[in-house]
Amino acid sequence: MSPIADPRTRHWAGSGLLALALLLMAARLRPAQAPPTRARAYTRAAHLMGSQFTFTAVSSDDSLAWRALRAGLRETQRIDHLCSYWDSTSQVVKINQLAGIRPVVVDQEVYDLIQRTLKIAALSGGAFDITFASGDKIYKFDRLAHPSLPDSATVRRSVRRIGWQKVQLNAAAHSVYLPEKGMRINLAGILQGYGVRRASEVMKRLGIAGGLLNGSGDVYCWGRQPDGSQWRIAIGDPARPRTVSSWLTVSDLAVVTAGNYEQYFTVGGRYYGHIINPHTGYPATGLRSVTIICPDVELADALDDAVFVLGPTEGLGLINRLKGVSATVITDDGQTLVSKGLQLNSYHSAAPAAAVSPPSNP
């Protein structure tokens, strides 16, 4: 007997066709699956730490993106209240108020941040110094032409209380003490970078795989843009505000820029910016812009001020000695210089960057 003539075969074949028909019917009745949502960039801005912050999160989940952006901004606000030079309730203000009186017990977070600033001060030979706030305010950075600089005696007196070595830390008590009345610390040179770093950590923990945070020129980006490309970061041209001199394509890096082209005055046509040399009391000169590139946005935020004070040769010499850190600077005469190994994408109108080798040992 052939298999077709076998009634058992016909039975099982018929059941199989019925089962197939039922599956096809179920498939037609089942709702069609929506295509996966494509990632897009979500952005939120806020005024924090006296500056404009813009946070961007890349996600295919709008609820997650907005939740992460709110969390990042809240974290930055928290740090601002904790360490602000202007907020009367901050721990930094309390340290300053009790200078020359007694040590102040602070949160471990604040203690650790101050300790890191002192390490950067030592690394830079005091070019970065949070006690710069102890200096007398003898300059007005009003973008106007002034007849002259203050006399040398006034300038010398203005920095008499400055000195990062004077700051006393007690690790056991988590206390900070400024031994002289009138001494003050100000974390402004590192606080925006610290705020951006902590905000990015919060957003990553919530599941944001790509983002860009910009705290008034302190930029940190990670992951990719919605189209899968890396982030493109522009570096401004001090000679032509709101224009670009060069750009970088990066990911998982900080690109932090400081410039003296917004807060300055001039004397005899020479620019004097708001970054003060803590050793001399005079505004740092020789540079119009400093950009630091490295994985740590907090470190980059401090190093840009240090390089500004050290000047082009010593400043880039310092960067060349640091592993994983690069820099580009624009000098007073408009020349673009870079640390060893850094490749910039220059716009056609800009002159090509020149590398600066580390200074030879004496």
The residue range of the domain holding 62 is: 39-81+195-222
Share of the chain above pLDDT 70, in %: 86
Query: Pairing state of beta strands 354-355 and 336-338?
Result: parallel
- One DSSP character per residue, 106-160 reads --HHHHHHHHHHHHHHHHTTTSS-GGGGGS-------SSB-S-PPPHHHHHHHTT
Both 123 and 159 in one domain: the answer is: yes
3-state secondary structure of 190: helix
Give the annotated binding-site residues.
189, 301
Residue 267: Cβ within 10 Å count: 13
- How far lies 261's CA from each of 143, 231, 275, 288, in Å? 9, 25, 11, 7
Give the annotated binding-site residues for Mg(2+).
189, 301
* Token digits of residue 9: 């075969």
Both 212 and 351 in one domain: the answer is: no
> Distance (Å, rounded) from C-alpha 324 to C-alpha 111?
26
Both 178 and 43 in one domain: the answer is: no
Both 90 and 172 in one domain: the answer is: yes
Residue 28 belongs to a domain: no
> Distance (Å, rounded) from C-alpha 322 to C-alpha 288?
22
How far apart are the two ends of the chain, measured CA to CA in Å?
Answer: 105
> pTM score, two decimals?
0.85
Residue 74 belongs to a domain: yes
Both 322 and 339 in one domain: the answer is: yes
Both 259 and 345 in one domain: the answer is: yes
Both 92 and 134 in one domain: the answer is: yes
Q: Tell me if 80 sits within 8 A of 87, measured CB to CB.
A: yes
Q: Which residue has the higher pLDDT, 16 or 128?
A: 128
Both 155 and 276 in one domain: the answer is: yes
Both 215 and 243 in one domain: the answer is: no
Number of domains in the chain: 2
Q: What is the pLDDT of residue 346?
A: 82
Please state the rounded mean pLDDT for residues 181-196.
97
Amino acid at 101: I
Whole-number average pLDDT of the chain: 88
Q: What is the pLDDT of residue 360?
A: 37
Both 245 and 217 in one domain: the answer is: no
Asked whether the CA dihedral 120, 126, 132, 138 is positive or negative, the reply is negative
Both 217 and 299 in one domain: the answer is: no
In the structure, what pLDDT confidence band is assigned to residue 259 with cuts at 50, 70 and 90? confident
Residue 21 belongs to a domain: no
> Distance (Å, rounded) from C-alpha 48 to C-alpha 75?
11
Both 47 and 173 in one domain: the answer is: no
